[in-house]
Amino acid sequence: MLKAILLSLALFLAILSCTKENIPIAPEVAQTAQITPGRIAVSAADGLAKSLTGSTHYQDSVSFYLGDLKASRDFYFIIRNVGCTKIRDLTVASNSPDFAVSPSKFDVLAPDSVAAISTILRISAIHGKALDGVGYTTLMKPDTNSAYVTISGTTSNAAGEDTLTRVTVKTTVNALLMAISLLDSETVVDLLKPDAHANCNEGGIGWARVYTITATAKIVNTGNVSFVISNPEWNLIPVATVLPGDTLALPDKTKWRYSNLMVCLNGANTVSDYSRLQLGDDGAAYFMVSANTFP
């Protein structure tokens, strides 16, 4: 009888201490008569990230696979406190410049039961195009890329003592890159050194890079994404899909218009190395090959 009375008293005191902040006690907490310190949970927002182990995580380390990345993109996550006491002075840090976080600090993360609004974390995967749509930035390697984002803060344990709570979020993307080698017969053409520039109305690029070809022009898909090749306006190139690793020979020079051939590569908005392949506003790359020689 005395044991039952003491257990009831312990449960009452646990509930009373938690409800001082008007925070309901979860059933599992009440069963153990403990006040749960603040604890960080992470979930993907609006289905923008695919979790490896579930939609919401309470572990110290969690992982999200974000899928194929054609260009820079923002991903959003909901940060929650599934404990009983608030978490304060939170910091967020990424170990890779390819994955930027915002905000980098939170003042307070209230427990779920009293939180008035959701706390959102943005993780920006940086790959080629600037996120504001103006200009270009660094490229990820065309393959799997990961970063570890650490979220940490200070909370209180059942004794009222400060204690650290932390979660590490692993984010992974498969970075895609549209890339080619241009061959003059078997000789590699330096895409960084065009022989001339020609007026081009396609894709809003204004001026297309021109490369002199003396024999047979070939294009090798050296990226990790397929693209559709074509010749805008005159349809001198049969429309075809070029898979990664494939080589496609362009039509004979005798079929080119005024000894020039405009080439369009459409990788469905996949980013390229702009110094080698110039993308238009439509997300396709344009350049010209020419049988002419230039001074």
Is 61 inside a domain boundary? yes
Is 3 inside a domain boundary? yes
Query: For residue 2, what are the contacts with CB-CB under 8 A and spacing of at least 6?
Result: none
- 120 and 169 inside one domain: yes
Burial of 155 (0-12, 13-18, 19+ CB in 10 A): buried
- 154 and 54 inside one domain: yes
Give the residue with greater pLDDT, 249 vs 53. 249
Q: How many domains does the chain have?
A: 3
Separation of alpha carbons 217 and 290, rounded Å = 10
Is 66 inside a domain boundary? yes
Separation of alpha carbons 93 and 169, rounded Å = 10
Is 295 inside a domain boundary? no
- 197 and 258 inside one domain: yes
User: How far, rounded to the nearest angstrom, does the alpha carbon of residue 272 sit from its chain's CA centroid?
Assistant: 15
Q: pLDDT by residue (tens digit) across 74-117?
A: 999 999 999 999 999 999 999 999 999 999 999 999 999 898 88
Structural domain harbouring 244: 180-290
Instruction: Give the pLDDT confidence score for residue 3 in this predicted structure.
Output: 40
Instruction: Give the pLDDT confidence score for residue 182 in this predicted structure.
Output: 98
- 213 and 89 inside one domain: no
* Percent above pLDDT 70 for the chain: 84
Q: pLDDT by residue (tens digit) across 215-235?
A: 999 999 999 999 999 999 899
Per-residue pLDDT averaged across 167-176, rounded? 97
Joined together, the tokens standing for residue 292 give 């002419």
Give the strand pairing for 162-175 and 61-69. parallel
Domain boundary among 127, 144, 175: 175
Instruction: Give the pLDDT confidence score for residue 1 in this predicted structure.
Output: 46
User: How far, rounded to the nearest angstrom, does the alpha carbon of residue 162 sit from its chain's CA centroid?
Assistant: 35
Query: For residue 233, what are the contacts with CB-CB under 8 A and spacing of at least 6?
Result: 202, 262
Joined together, the tokens standing for residue 200 give 């081009």
